[in-house]
Structure 1
Amino acid sequence: MDVLVEWLVEHMVVAVLVLTRLSAMLMAMPAIGVGIPRRVRVMLALTMTGLLLPTIAERPAMQSLPDFDHLVELAIVVAQEAMIGMLIGATVQIVITGIQLAGEVITGTGGMQLGESMDEATQSSMPALAKMVGMLVTAVMLLSGGHRMMLSLLLESFDKMPPGNVVFHETMLQAVIDCMSGALASGVRVSAPIVAALLLSNLVTGLISRTMPQINVLAVGLSVNALALLVVTSLTIGSVAWIFQDDLAANVERLSSVWVEGG
Protein backbone atom coordinates (compact mmCIF):
# COMPACT_ATOMS: atom_id res chain seq x y z
CA MET A 1 0.00 0.00 0.00
CA ASP A 2 2.83 2.38 0.85
CA VAL A 3 4.47 1.66 -2.51
CA LEU A 4 1.25 2.57 -4.32
CA VAL A 5 0.91 5.80 -2.38
CA GLU A 6 4.51 6.75 -3.12
CA TRP A 7 4.03 6.00 -6.81
CA LEU A 8 0.88 8.15 -6.95
CA VAL A 9 2.62 11.04 -5.21
CA GLU A 10 5.56 10.77 -7.60
CA HIS A 11 3.29 10.89 -10.65
CA MET A 12 0.74 13.35 -9.29
CA VAL A 13 1.49 15.99 -11.95
CA VAL A 14 1.11 13.46 -14.76
CA ALA A 15 -2.19 12.29 -13.25
CA VAL A 16 -3.51 15.86 -13.15
CA LEU A 17 -2.56 16.44 -16.79
CA VAL A 18 -4.12 13.17 -17.99
CA LEU A 19 -7.27 13.83 -15.97
CA THR A 20 -7.54 17.35 -17.39
CA ARG A 21 -7.31 16.25 -21.03
CA LEU A 22 -9.70 13.37 -20.50
CA SER A 23 -12.23 15.43 -18.52
CA ALA A 24 -12.24 18.21 -21.13
CA MET A 25 -12.92 15.67 -23.87
CA LEU A 26 -15.80 14.11 -21.92
CA MET A 27 -17.33 17.52 -21.18
CA ALA A 28 -17.25 18.51 -24.85
CA MET A 29 -18.59 15.20 -26.17
CA PRO A 30 -22.34 14.80 -26.78
CA ALA A 31 -24.34 12.29 -24.72
CA ILE A 32 -21.74 12.63 -21.93
CA GLY A 33 -21.18 16.33 -21.34
CA VAL A 34 -24.95 16.91 -21.10
CA GLY A 35 -27.62 14.63 -19.70
CA ILE A 36 -25.42 12.56 -17.36
CA PRO A 37 -25.25 13.42 -13.64
CA ARG A 38 -22.11 15.23 -12.57
CA ARG A 39 -21.10 12.54 -10.09
CA VAL A 40 -21.24 9.89 -12.81
CA ARG A 41 -19.05 12.01 -15.09
CA VAL A 42 -16.53 12.55 -12.29
CA MET A 43 -16.38 8.82 -11.52
CA LEU A 44 -16.03 8.02 -15.22
CA ALA A 45 -13.15 10.47 -15.63
CA LEU A 46 -11.36 9.21 -12.51
CA THR A 47 -11.80 5.58 -13.50
CA MET A 48 -10.49 6.11 -17.02
CA THR A 49 -7.58 8.17 -15.66
CA GLY A 50 -6.69 5.34 -13.30
CA LEU A 51 -6.66 2.90 -16.21
CA LEU A 52 -4.53 5.10 -18.47
CA LEU A 53 -2.09 6.52 -15.93
CA PRO A 54 0.17 3.45 -15.40
CA THR A 55 0.94 3.11 -19.12
CA ILE A 56 1.36 6.84 -19.74
CA ALA A 57 3.49 7.57 -16.65
CA GLU A 58 6.11 4.97 -17.58
CA ARG A 59 6.77 6.31 -21.06
CA PRO A 60 10.19 7.87 -21.76
CA ALA A 61 8.64 11.25 -22.54
CA MET A 62 7.25 11.43 -18.99
CA GLN A 63 10.70 10.95 -17.49
CA SER A 64 11.80 14.28 -18.95
CA LEU A 65 8.77 16.19 -17.68
CA PRO A 66 10.01 19.54 -16.35
CA ASP A 67 9.55 20.56 -12.74
CA PHE A 68 6.99 23.29 -12.23
CA ASP A 69 8.38 25.71 -9.69
CA HIS A 70 5.38 28.04 -9.83
CA LEU A 71 1.66 27.39 -9.94
CA VAL A 72 1.38 29.73 -12.92
CA GLU A 73 3.47 27.40 -15.07
CA LEU A 74 1.40 24.40 -13.99
CA ALA A 75 -1.82 26.31 -14.67
CA ILE A 76 -0.66 27.13 -18.21
CA VAL A 77 0.16 23.48 -18.91
CA VAL A 78 -3.21 22.37 -17.47
CA ALA A 79 -4.99 24.90 -19.70
CA GLN A 80 -3.14 23.51 -22.72
CA GLU A 81 -4.22 19.99 -21.84
CA ALA A 82 -7.82 21.16 -21.49
CA MET A 83 -7.71 22.76 -24.92
CA ILE A 84 -6.46 19.54 -26.51
CA GLY A 85 -9.22 17.56 -24.81
CA MET A 86 -11.86 20.05 -25.93
CA LEU A 87 -10.50 19.90 -29.48
CA ILE A 88 -11.10 16.14 -29.54
CA GLY A 89 -14.53 16.19 -27.93
CA ALA A 90 -15.81 19.24 -29.80
CA THR A 91 -15.16 17.51 -33.13
CA VAL A 92 -18.28 15.38 -32.72
CA GLN A 93 -20.33 18.21 -31.23
CA ILE A 94 -19.53 20.51 -34.16
CA VAL A 95 -20.67 17.85 -36.64
CA ILE A 96 -23.92 17.32 -34.73
CA THR A 97 -24.56 21.06 -34.47
CA GLY A 98 -24.00 21.46 -38.20
CA ILE A 99 -26.45 18.67 -39.01
CA GLN A 100 -28.96 20.22 -36.59
CA LEU A 101 -28.87 23.24 -38.87
CA ALA A 102 -30.86 21.12 -41.31
CA GLY A 103 -33.73 20.92 -38.82
CA GLU A 104 -33.74 24.69 -38.36
CA VAL A 105 -33.71 25.31 -42.12
CA ILE A 106 -36.52 22.81 -42.68
CA THR A 107 -38.61 24.29 -39.88
CA GLY A 108 -38.15 27.84 -41.17
CA THR A 109 -38.98 26.88 -44.74
CA GLY A 110 -42.04 24.89 -43.71
CA GLY A 111 -43.41 27.65 -41.47
CA MET A 112 -43.38 25.56 -38.26
CA GLN A 113 -41.32 27.87 -36.03
CA LEU A 114 -43.79 27.56 -33.15
CA GLY A 115 -42.64 24.03 -32.28
CA GLU A 116 -39.51 24.87 -30.29
CA SER A 117 -37.84 23.25 -27.30
CA MET A 118 -34.82 23.83 -25.08
CA ASP A 119 -31.46 22.45 -26.16
CA GLU A 120 -29.45 21.29 -23.15
CA ALA A 121 -26.08 21.60 -24.91
CA THR A 122 -26.41 25.26 -25.91
CA GLN A 123 -29.03 26.31 -23.33
CA SER A 124 -31.07 27.98 -26.06
CA SER A 125 -34.34 27.29 -27.79
CA MET A 126 -34.34 25.42 -31.08
CA PRO A 127 -37.01 23.81 -33.26
CA ALA A 128 -38.22 20.42 -32.14
CA LEU A 129 -37.24 18.94 -35.50
CA ALA A 130 -33.65 20.14 -35.08
CA LYS A 131 -33.51 18.64 -31.60
CA MET A 132 -34.87 15.36 -32.95
CA VAL A 133 -32.14 15.31 -35.62
CA GLY A 134 -29.52 15.96 -32.93
CA MET A 135 -30.81 13.10 -30.78
CA LEU A 136 -30.89 10.82 -33.82
CA VAL A 137 -27.30 11.64 -34.73
CA THR A 138 -26.19 11.12 -31.12
CA ALA A 139 -27.81 7.69 -31.12
CA VAL A 140 -26.10 6.87 -34.42
CA MET A 141 -22.77 7.93 -32.90
CA LEU A 142 -23.17 5.53 -29.98
CA LEU A 143 -24.45 2.67 -32.14
CA SER A 144 -21.70 3.01 -34.74
CA GLY A 145 -18.90 3.16 -32.18
CA GLY A 146 -18.17 6.88 -32.41
CA HIS A 147 -17.32 7.03 -28.71
CA ARG A 148 -14.67 4.33 -29.23
CA MET A 149 -13.23 6.36 -32.09
CA MET A 150 -12.96 9.35 -29.77
CA LEU A 151 -11.20 7.28 -27.11
CA SER A 152 -8.76 5.86 -29.67
CA LEU A 153 -8.10 9.42 -30.86
CA LEU A 154 -7.42 10.45 -27.26
CA LEU A 155 -4.96 7.57 -26.78
CA GLU A 156 -3.26 8.50 -30.04
CA SER A 157 -2.91 12.08 -28.82
CA PHE A 158 -1.15 10.80 -25.70
CA ASP A 159 1.28 8.88 -27.94
CA LYS A 160 2.04 11.73 -30.34
CA MET A 161 1.65 14.63 -27.90
CA PRO A 162 2.45 13.45 -24.34
CA PRO A 163 1.03 15.34 -21.33
CA GLY A 164 3.08 18.41 -20.55
CA ASN A 165 4.53 18.54 -24.08
CA VAL A 166 1.62 20.12 -25.94
CA VAL A 167 2.58 22.15 -29.00
CA PHE A 168 -0.01 24.27 -30.79
CA HIS A 169 0.33 24.97 -34.49
CA GLU A 170 -1.67 26.33 -37.38
CA THR A 171 -2.88 22.90 -38.49
CA MET A 172 -5.08 22.61 -35.39
CA LEU A 173 -6.96 25.80 -36.22
CA GLN A 174 -7.30 24.68 -39.83
CA ALA A 175 -8.72 21.36 -38.62
CA VAL A 176 -11.41 23.18 -36.62
CA ILE A 177 -12.26 25.40 -39.60
CA ASP A 178 -12.51 22.38 -41.91
CA CYS A 179 -14.69 20.59 -39.36
CA MET A 180 -17.09 23.55 -39.11
CA SER A 181 -17.31 24.01 -42.87
CA GLY A 182 -17.90 20.30 -43.39
CA ALA A 183 -20.61 20.28 -40.71
CA LEU A 184 -22.45 23.19 -42.33
CA ALA A 185 -22.21 21.48 -45.71
CA SER A 186 -23.67 18.33 -44.17
CA GLY A 187 -26.60 20.31 -42.78
CA VAL A 188 -27.30 21.72 -46.23
CA ARG A 189 -27.10 18.25 -47.77
CA VAL A 190 -29.60 16.85 -45.26
CA SER A 191 -32.08 19.69 -45.71
CA ALA A 192 -31.78 20.02 -49.50
CA PRO A 193 -34.42 17.44 -50.58
CA ILE A 194 -36.93 18.60 -47.99
CA VAL A 195 -36.47 22.27 -48.85
CA ALA A 196 -36.86 21.42 -52.54
CA ALA A 197 -40.11 19.58 -51.79
CA LEU A 198 -41.42 22.51 -49.76
CA LEU A 199 -40.59 24.98 -52.53
CA LEU A 200 -42.38 22.72 -55.01
CA SER A 201 -45.44 22.55 -52.76
CA ASN A 202 -45.46 26.36 -52.50
CA LEU A 203 -45.29 26.57 -56.28
CA VAL A 204 -48.21 24.16 -56.66
CA THR A 205 -50.22 26.09 -54.07
CA GLY A 206 -49.54 29.33 -55.92
CA LEU A 207 -50.71 27.84 -59.20
CA ILE A 208 -53.89 26.56 -57.53
CA SER A 209 -54.60 29.98 -56.05
CA ARG A 210 -54.27 31.57 -59.50
CA THR A 211 -56.65 29.12 -61.16
CA MET A 212 -59.11 28.86 -58.25
CA PRO A 213 -59.18 32.20 -56.36
CA GLN A 214 -62.12 31.14 -54.17
CA ILE A 215 -59.95 28.63 -52.25
CA ASN A 216 -58.45 29.74 -48.93
CA VAL A 217 -54.80 29.69 -49.96
CA LEU A 218 -53.46 30.22 -46.44
CA ALA A 219 -55.22 27.18 -44.96
CA VAL A 220 -54.49 24.95 -47.93
CA GLY A 221 -50.86 26.07 -48.20
CA LEU A 222 -50.06 25.36 -44.55
CA SER A 223 -51.64 21.92 -44.76
CA VAL A 224 -49.80 21.03 -47.97
CA ASN A 225 -46.49 22.28 -46.56
CA ALA A 226 -46.92 20.29 -43.36
CA LEU A 227 -47.83 17.15 -45.31
CA ALA A 228 -44.87 17.55 -47.67
CA LEU A 229 -42.52 18.21 -44.78
CA LEU A 230 -43.58 15.10 -42.87
CA VAL A 231 -43.60 12.79 -45.89
CA VAL A 232 -40.25 13.85 -47.35
CA THR A 233 -38.61 13.99 -43.92
CA SER A 234 -39.72 10.42 -43.15
CA LEU A 235 -38.29 9.27 -46.49
CA THR A 236 -34.93 11.05 -46.28
CA ILE A 237 -34.16 11.10 -42.55
CA GLY A 238 -32.11 7.93 -42.91
CA SER A 239 -29.48 9.84 -44.89
CA VAL A 240 -28.49 11.63 -41.68
CA ALA A 241 -26.78 8.50 -40.37
CA TRP A 242 -24.65 8.00 -43.48
CA ILE A 243 -23.65 11.65 -43.72
CA PHE A 244 -22.74 11.78 -40.04
CA GLN A 245 -20.59 8.65 -40.19
CA ASP A 246 -18.68 9.96 -43.21
CA ASP A 247 -18.07 13.34 -41.55
CA LEU A 248 -17.00 11.75 -38.27
CA ALA A 249 -14.52 9.44 -40.00
CA ALA A 250 -13.10 12.37 -42.00
CA ASN A 251 -12.67 14.52 -38.88
CA VAL A 252 -11.01 11.71 -36.93
CA GLU A 253 -8.56 11.17 -39.77
CA ARG A 254 -7.92 14.92 -39.92
CA LEU A 255 -7.13 15.10 -36.20
CA SER A 256 -4.88 12.05 -36.49
CA SER A 257 -2.79 13.92 -39.04
CA VAL A 258 -2.69 16.87 -36.64
CA TRP A 259 -1.14 14.69 -33.90
CA VAL A 260 1.40 13.30 -36.34
CA GLU A 261 2.49 16.80 -37.37
CA GLY A 262 2.50 17.98 -33.76
CA GLY A 263 4.55 14.97 -32.69
Structure 2
Amino acid sequence: MEPVNISELTQWFVDHLILGVLILTRLSLLLMAMPAVGVGVPKRVRAILAILVTTLLMPAVANLTSSEALPRIDNLIDLTIAIAREGMIGMLIGATVQLIITGMQLGGEAITSTGGMQLGDAIDPTTASSMPSIARLVGLLVTSIMLAVGGHRLVLNLLLDSFKALPAGQIEFSDSMMTLVVDQLTAGMIAGIRVAAPVVAALLLANLVTGLVSRTLPQINVLAIGLSINALSMLIVLALTIGSAGLIFQDELAQVAVRLGKLW
Protein backbone atom coordinates (compact mmCIF):
# COMPACT_ATOMS: atom_id res chain seq x y z
CA MET A 1 0.00 0.00 0.00
CA GLU A 2 1.48 3.36 -1.06
CA PRO A 3 1.91 5.96 1.68
CA VAL A 4 -0.35 9.02 1.52
CA ASN A 5 1.40 12.23 0.61
CA ILE A 6 0.48 14.70 3.35
CA SER A 7 1.17 17.76 1.21
CA GLU A 8 -1.06 16.51 -1.63
CA LEU A 9 -3.82 15.65 0.84
CA THR A 10 -3.55 19.09 2.41
CA GLN A 11 -3.66 20.80 -0.99
CA TRP A 12 -6.71 18.73 -1.97
CA PHE A 13 -8.48 19.77 1.21
CA VAL A 14 -7.58 23.44 0.73
CA ASP A 15 -8.75 23.44 -2.91
CA HIS A 16 -12.09 21.87 -2.00
CA LEU A 17 -12.46 24.27 0.93
CA ILE A 18 -11.98 27.27 -1.36
CA LEU A 19 -14.35 25.75 -3.93
CA GLY A 20 -16.96 25.20 -1.21
CA VAL A 21 -16.66 28.82 -0.08
CA LEU A 22 -17.14 30.08 -3.65
CA ILE A 23 -20.17 27.84 -4.21
CA LEU A 24 -21.64 28.85 -0.86
CA THR A 25 -21.19 32.53 -1.67
CA ARG A 26 -22.93 32.29 -5.05
CA LEU A 27 -25.75 30.21 -3.57
CA SER A 28 -26.18 32.41 -0.48
CA LEU A 29 -26.55 35.61 -2.50
CA LEU A 30 -28.99 33.79 -4.78
CA LEU A 31 -31.12 32.77 -1.80
CA MET A 32 -31.02 36.31 -0.41
CA ALA A 33 -32.28 37.79 -3.70
CA MET A 34 -34.69 34.95 -4.46
CA PRO A 35 -38.40 35.53 -3.69
CA ALA A 36 -40.04 33.51 -0.90
CA VAL A 37 -36.62 32.66 0.55
CA GLY A 38 -34.79 35.95 0.99
CA VAL A 39 -37.58 37.34 3.18
CA GLY A 40 -39.78 35.47 5.62
CA VAL A 41 -37.42 32.53 6.16
CA PRO A 42 -35.34 32.63 9.38
CA LYS A 43 -31.63 33.26 8.88
CA ARG A 44 -30.72 30.00 10.57
CA VAL A 45 -32.91 28.03 8.18
CA ARG A 46 -31.42 29.86 5.19
CA ALA A 47 -27.91 29.11 6.43
CA ILE A 48 -28.67 25.42 6.87
CA LEU A 49 -30.32 25.30 3.44
CA ALA A 50 -27.33 27.01 1.80
CA ILE A 51 -24.85 24.61 3.42
CA LEU A 52 -26.95 21.57 2.50
CA VAL A 53 -27.35 22.59 -1.15
CA THR A 54 -23.65 23.47 -1.34
CA THR A 55 -22.78 19.98 -0.13
CA LEU A 56 -25.01 18.47 -2.81
CA LEU A 57 -23.52 20.67 -5.55
CA MET A 58 -19.89 20.12 -4.58
CA PRO A 59 -19.27 16.87 -6.55
CA ALA A 60 -20.87 18.18 -9.75
CA VAL A 61 -19.17 21.58 -9.58
CA ALA A 62 -15.79 20.02 -8.73
CA ASN A 63 -15.87 18.13 -12.03
CA LEU A 64 -16.48 21.40 -13.89
CA THR A 65 -13.77 23.39 -12.11
CA SER A 66 -10.03 23.22 -12.57
CA SER A 67 -8.03 23.40 -9.36
CA GLU A 68 -5.43 25.61 -11.08
CA ALA A 69 -8.06 28.28 -11.72
CA LEU A 70 -9.03 28.59 -8.05
CA PRO A 71 -7.48 31.48 -6.09
CA ARG A 72 -4.74 30.55 -3.64
CA ILE A 73 -5.58 30.71 0.03
CA ASP A 74 -2.42 32.70 0.75
CA ASN A 75 -3.46 35.42 -1.74
CA LEU A 76 -6.23 37.15 0.16
CA ILE A 77 -6.76 39.87 -2.48
CA ASP A 78 -7.51 37.40 -5.28
CA LEU A 79 -9.64 35.30 -2.93
CA THR A 80 -11.69 38.33 -1.86
CA ILE A 81 -12.22 39.43 -5.46
CA ALA A 82 -13.29 35.91 -6.44
CA ILE A 83 -15.80 35.76 -3.55
CA ALA A 84 -17.23 39.16 -4.52
CA ARG A 85 -17.66 38.04 -8.12
CA GLU A 86 -19.42 34.85 -7.04
CA GLY A 87 -21.81 36.90 -4.93
CA MET A 88 -22.65 39.19 -7.83
CA ILE A 89 -23.45 36.25 -10.11
CA GLY A 90 -25.73 34.72 -7.47
CA MET A 91 -27.47 38.05 -6.95
CA LEU A 92 -27.88 38.43 -10.72
CA ILE A 93 -29.77 35.13 -10.97
CA GLY A 94 -32.04 35.86 -8.02
CA ALA A 95 -32.66 39.48 -9.02
CA THR A 96 -33.93 38.53 -12.47
CA VAL A 97 -36.92 36.82 -10.87
CA GLN A 98 -37.38 39.43 -8.14
CA LEU A 99 -37.51 42.25 -10.71
CA ILE A 100 -40.56 40.66 -12.33
CA ILE A 101 -42.38 40.39 -9.01
CA THR A 102 -41.46 43.99 -8.13
CA GLY A 103 -42.76 45.21 -11.48
CA MET A 104 -46.04 43.38 -10.97
CA GLN A 105 -46.33 44.91 -7.50
CA LEU A 106 -45.97 48.33 -9.12
CA GLY A 107 -49.04 47.38 -11.14
CA GLY A 108 -50.86 46.83 -7.85
CA GLU A 109 -49.75 50.26 -6.68
CA ALA A 110 -51.10 51.78 -9.90
CA ILE A 111 -54.46 50.13 -9.24
CA THR A 112 -54.53 51.46 -5.69
CA SER A 113 -53.62 55.03 -6.64
CA THR A 114 -56.14 55.10 -9.50
CA GLY A 115 -58.91 53.76 -7.27
CA GLY A 116 -58.16 56.20 -4.44
CA MET A 117 -57.39 53.44 -1.89
CA GLN A 118 -54.06 54.77 -0.62
CA LEU A 119 -55.18 54.47 3.00
CA GLY A 120 -54.96 50.66 2.89
CA ASP A 121 -51.15 50.60 3.01
CA ALA A 122 -49.09 48.16 5.05
CA ILE A 123 -45.40 47.49 5.69
CA ASP A 124 -43.89 45.20 3.08
CA PRO A 125 -41.23 42.91 4.66
CA THR A 126 -39.29 42.71 1.38
CA THR A 127 -38.58 46.44 1.08
CA ALA A 128 -39.35 47.45 4.70
CA SER A 129 -41.47 50.28 3.32
CA SER A 130 -45.15 51.10 3.07
CA MET A 131 -46.93 49.28 0.25
CA PRO A 132 -50.63 49.06 -0.72
CA SER A 133 -52.46 45.91 0.23
CA ILE A 134 -53.30 45.14 -3.40
CA ALA A 135 -49.62 45.30 -4.35
CA ARG A 136 -48.79 42.91 -1.52
CA LEU A 137 -51.62 40.63 -2.66
CA VAL A 138 -50.19 40.50 -6.18
CA GLY A 139 -46.70 39.83 -4.80
CA LEU A 140 -47.87 36.99 -2.57
CA LEU A 141 -49.96 35.52 -5.40
CA VAL A 142 -47.12 35.35 -7.93
CA THR A 143 -44.68 34.10 -5.28
CA SER A 144 -47.00 31.22 -4.37
CA ILE A 145 -47.45 30.45 -8.07
CA MET A 146 -43.68 30.38 -8.52
CA LEU A 147 -43.39 27.74 -5.80
CA ALA A 148 -46.40 25.80 -7.13
CA VAL A 149 -45.09 25.53 -10.70
CA GLY A 150 -41.55 24.62 -9.60
CA GLY A 151 -39.90 27.97 -10.13
CA HIS A 152 -37.48 27.32 -7.26
CA ARG A 153 -36.21 24.21 -9.07
CA LEU A 154 -35.84 26.27 -12.25
CA VAL A 155 -33.72 28.81 -10.38
CA LEU A 156 -31.49 26.07 -8.97
CA ASN A 157 -31.08 24.62 -12.46
CA LEU A 158 -30.03 28.05 -13.68
CA LEU A 159 -27.51 28.16 -10.84
CA LEU A 160 -26.03 24.82 -11.88
CA ASP A 161 -25.89 25.94 -15.52
CA SER A 162 -24.04 29.07 -14.41
CA PHE A 163 -21.29 26.89 -12.95
CA LYS A 164 -20.93 25.21 -16.36
CA ALA A 165 -20.59 28.49 -18.24
CA LEU A 166 -18.86 30.46 -15.47
CA PRO A 167 -16.84 28.01 -13.35
CA ALA A 168 -16.03 29.01 -9.80
CA GLY A 169 -13.04 31.34 -9.74
CA GLN A 170 -13.22 32.02 -13.50
CA ILE A 171 -15.95 34.64 -13.71
CA GLU A 172 -15.72 37.33 -16.36
CA PHE A 173 -18.30 40.10 -16.52
CA SER A 174 -19.70 41.39 -19.79
CA ASP A 175 -22.06 44.07 -21.03
CA SER A 176 -24.70 41.43 -21.70
CA MET A 177 -25.20 41.00 -17.93
CA MET A 178 -26.12 44.66 -17.50
CA THR A 179 -28.32 44.40 -20.58
CA LEU A 180 -30.07 41.44 -18.96
CA VAL A 181 -30.83 43.47 -15.82
CA VAL A 182 -32.24 46.33 -17.91
CA ASP A 183 -34.33 43.92 -19.97
CA GLN A 184 -35.69 42.28 -16.84
CA LEU A 185 -36.55 45.66 -15.35
CA THR A 186 -38.41 46.54 -18.53
CA ALA A 187 -40.16 43.15 -18.58
CA GLY A 188 -41.25 43.64 -14.96
CA MET A 189 -42.72 47.06 -15.72
CA ILE A 190 -44.56 45.69 -18.75
CA ALA A 191 -45.93 42.81 -16.67
CA GLY A 192 -47.17 45.29 -14.06
CA ILE A 193 -48.91 47.34 -16.75
CA ARG A 194 -50.56 44.20 -18.13
CA VAL A 195 -51.86 43.32 -14.66
CA ALA A 196 -53.15 46.81 -13.92
CA ALA A 197 -54.56 47.65 -17.36
CA PRO A 198 -58.06 46.06 -17.01
CA VAL A 199 -58.66 47.55 -13.57
CA VAL A 200 -57.35 51.00 -14.51
CA ALA A 201 -59.51 51.00 -17.65
CA ALA A 202 -62.58 50.08 -15.60
CA LEU A 203 -61.81 52.84 -13.09
CA LEU A 204 -61.42 55.43 -15.83
CA LEU A 205 -64.75 54.32 -17.29
CA ALA A 206 -66.36 54.59 -13.84
CA ASN A 207 -64.98 58.12 -13.45
CA LEU A 208 -66.39 59.02 -16.86
CA VAL A 209 -69.82 57.70 -15.88
CA THR A 210 -69.65 59.58 -12.58
CA GLY A 211 -68.78 62.78 -14.42
CA LEU A 212 -71.73 62.36 -16.76
CA VAL A 213 -74.05 61.75 -13.81
CA SER A 214 -72.79 64.86 -12.05
CA ARG A 215 -73.45 66.96 -15.15
CA THR A 216 -76.94 65.51 -15.50
CA LEU A 217 -77.91 65.59 -11.81
CA PRO A 218 -75.87 68.33 -10.12
CA GLN A 219 -77.76 67.94 -6.83
CA ILE A 220 -76.19 64.51 -6.19
CA ASN A 221 -73.16 64.30 -3.91
CA VAL A 222 -70.68 63.23 -6.58
CA LEU A 223 -67.77 62.81 -4.15
CA ALA A 224 -69.50 60.18 -2.03
CA ILE A 225 -70.98 58.34 -5.00
CA GLY A 226 -67.76 58.50 -7.00
CA LEU A 227 -65.66 56.91 -4.26
CA SER A 228 -68.19 54.13 -3.81
CA ILE A 229 -68.39 53.45 -7.54
CA ASN A 230 -64.60 53.44 -7.85
CA ALA A 231 -64.17 51.01 -4.95
CA LEU A 232 -66.92 48.72 -6.25
CA SER A 233 -65.56 48.76 -9.80
CA MET A 234 -62.01 48.11 -8.62
CA LEU A 235 -62.99 45.13 -6.46
CA ILE A 236 -65.22 43.53 -9.12
CA VAL A 237 -62.74 43.87 -11.99
CA LEU A 238 -59.80 42.90 -9.78
CA ALA A 239 -61.61 39.75 -8.66
CA LEU A 240 -62.26 38.83 -12.30
CA THR A 241 -58.74 39.54 -13.58
CA ILE A 242 -56.43 38.72 -10.66
CA GLY A 243 -55.90 35.23 -12.04
CA SER A 244 -54.22 36.69 -15.11
CA ALA A 245 -51.33 37.80 -12.91
CA GLY A 246 -50.37 34.16 -12.43
CA LEU A 247 -50.42 33.45 -16.16
CA ILE A 248 -48.37 36.57 -16.89
CA PHE A 249 -45.83 35.59 -14.26
CA GLN A 250 -45.48 32.07 -15.66
CA ASP A 251 -44.75 33.49 -19.11
CA GLU A 252 -42.20 35.93 -17.72
CA LEU A 253 -40.54 33.20 -15.64
CA ALA A 254 -40.10 31.11 -18.78
CA GLN A 255 -38.56 34.13 -20.50
CA VAL A 256 -36.13 34.49 -17.59
CA ALA A 257 -34.86 30.97 -18.20
CA VAL A 258 -34.45 31.72 -21.92
CA ARG A 259 -32.57 34.99 -21.33
CA LEU A 260 -30.24 33.48 -18.73
CA GLY A 261 -29.67 30.47 -20.98
CA LYS A 262 -28.57 32.79 -23.78
CA LEU A 263 -26.36 34.69 -21.34
CA TRP A 264 -24.57 31.56 -20.20
Task: Give the TM-score, by structure 1 length.
Answer: 0.94
CA deviation vs aligned residue, 1:166-206 (integer Å, no higher than 9, x gap) = 01001111011000001101101110110000000000001
CA distance in 2, matches of 1:109, 1:10: 57
Deviations 1:148-182 (A, max 9, x none): 11000000001111000001001111011000001
Per the alignment, in what secondary structure is the counterpart of residue 130 of structure 2?
A: strand
Match of 1:89 among 81, 91, 94: 94
**Cα distance in structure 1, aligned partners of 2:64 and 2:232:** 61
Structure 1 stretches of at least 4 aligned residues deviating more than 4 Å after TM superposition:
5-8
1:163 aligns with 2:144: no
Picking from 233, 250, 262, the partner of 1:257 is 262
Unaligned runs of at least 5 residues, structure 2: none
Relative to structure 1, is the Cα distance of residues 182 and 59 closer, same or farther in structure 2, using a 3 angstrom cutoff?
Answer: closer
- Partners of 2:64 and 2:180 lie apart in 1 by 28
Select between 172-181 and 50-59 the one with higher mean Cα deviation: 50-59
Q: Give 1:233's aligned residue.
A: 238
User: Match of 1:87, as an amino acid?
Assistant: L
- Superposed, 1:112-131 pairs within 5 Å as 112-131=117-136
Unaligned runs of 5+ in 1: none
2:10 matches 1:24: no
2:145 to 140, 145, 166: 140
Which of 157, 173, 176 lines up with 2:178 in the alignment? 173
Q: Secondary structure at the match of 1:11?
A: helix
Structure 1 residue corresponding to 2:53, chosen from 35, 48, 58: 48
How far apart, in 2, do the equivalents of 1:117 and 1:216 lie?
Answer: 30
Q: Does residue 107 of structure 1 match 2:125? A: no
Q: Secondary structure at the match of 2:66?
A: helix
SS, match of residue 58 in structure 1: helix
Asked if the contact 2:71–2:78 (Cα under 8 Å) also holds between the matched residues in 1, the reply is: no
Q: Distance in 2 between matches of 1:60 and 1:184?
A: 38
- The 8 Å contact of residues 197 and 229 in structure 1, kept in 2 or not, is answered as yes
* Distance across 2 between alignment mates of 1:110 and 1:215: 20
Is 1:59 the counterpart of 2:64 in the alignment? yes
Q: Aligned partners of 1:42 and 1:27: how far apart in 2?
A: 10
Q: TM-score, normalised by structure 2?
A: 0.94
Describe the SS at the equivalent of 1:48. helix
CA contact (8 A) 2:206 2:233 kept: yes
Counterparts of 1:92 and 1:63 in 2: how far apart (Å)?
33
For the aligned residue pairs, the C-alpha RMSD in angstroms reads 1.6
* CA deviation vs aligned residue, 1:206-254 (integer Å, no higher than 9, x gap): 1111111111101100000000000000000111011111111111110
Spell out, residue by residue over 1:10-59, the C-alpha distance to the aligned partner (whole angstroms, 9 max, x if none): 41110100000000100000110000001000000000001111221233
Secondary structure in structure 1 of the residue aligned to 2:122:
strand
- 1:180 maps to a residue whose letter is L
Change (3 A) 1:59 1:200: closer
Identity of aligned residues (%): 56
How much has 1:70 moved relative to structure 2?
Answer: 2.2
- Cα distance, 1:68 vs. partner? 4.8
2:81 is aligned, of 76, 82, 100, to 76
Secondary structure of the structure 2 residue equivalent to 1:122: coil
8 Å Cα contact 1:62/1:162 also seen in 2: no
Task: Please state if 1:12 is matched with 2:42.
Answer: no
Question: Cα offset for 1:64?
Answer: 3.9
Q: How does 1:141-220 map to 2 (within 5 A)?
A: 141-220=146-225
CA distance in 2: counterparts of 1:243 and 1:17, whole angstroms: 35
